[in-house]
Amino acid sequence: MKILMCAPSHYGIEYEINPWMDITKQVLPAEAVQQWEQLHHTLAGLGIDIALIQQEPGVPDMVFTANAGLWYQNKIVLPHFKYPERQKETPFFRNWFLQQGFSLWNDYDLEHPRIAHFEGAGDGLLAGDTLFVGYGFRSDKAFYEQASYFDHSKLIYCELVNPKFYHIDTCFCPLNAHQAIWYPDAFSKEAQKNMRATIELIDVPAEEAAHFACNAVVYDRHIVIPAATPILTNKLRDLGMTVHHCEMTEYIKAGGACKCLTLRIG
């Protein structure tokens, strides 16, 4: 397994584009670095191959590499961010992918306006070969419907209805091809029905979902989740998983945690 990360050299809360962000509640830079390094060390210690991209000035959310694209059938689906603040990131990620030899499913003129939005692996999660896709806040259902490279027979549309859980990776995480953790109240009733019919789901309590318990990184039988999630931790251990905790308080301030800081690329 290989992932992409971006060290927080220019991370901070410089705007408000989700309910978590508050420019009056600033990130503590030293703690943000320490928490990112703890996550990096934990993932590397599991044997995960980690590639790094340098953060550029003026794109504070570039650390959340989950939104840089979606690794799908050995190619990258580039994002089309909803907000101009994050649209600035796309050229940096696109150039990095091309320099590293990745093929792109949807390379396009970045100056050309696009109607349908898509925010990478923040809104696309694979369980086996089934792709759960989130829409409603930052990604549009039309993006998936219009993309010819997706296997539409294996797409599960997941409408998000709680603005605090604006990407699917904030409230859903596959553990393997057959099981996933989730916070059901983040989804519409129709989405809940479709998801339950597709995969075995383990509920995460509201208080732990609000601490981004579902924003986890899974590798084999290991899972890396934010600290202070005891109920979910016990459920995961009962499933035979080894749980690793990382402090993520400085990233939760911006609406992200462990999974948001990583992008699978191999």
80, 117, 167, 244: the catalytic one is 167
Local structure of 61: helix, strand or coil: helix
Q: Could you tell me where the DSSP H helices lie in the chain?
A: 29-45, 84-87, 90-99, 141-146, 189-196, 206-209, 230-238, 249-252
Decide if 6 is catalytic.
no
Using CA atoms, how far apart are residues 246 and 257, in angstroms rounded to an integer?
9
Is 217 in contact with 43 (CB distance < 8 Å)? yes
Distances (CA, A) of 241 to 86, 160, 175, 203, 232: 35, 28, 9, 16, 11
6, 158, 214, 260: the catalytic one is 260
**214: Cβ contacts below 8 Å, ≥ 6 apart:** 169, 170, 171, 172, 173, 181, 182, 183, 204
What are residue 159's phi and psi, to 5 degrees? -75, 125
H or E element in which residue 222 lies: strand 222-226
Decide if 258 is catalytic.
no
Supply the residues annotated as catalytic: 167, 260
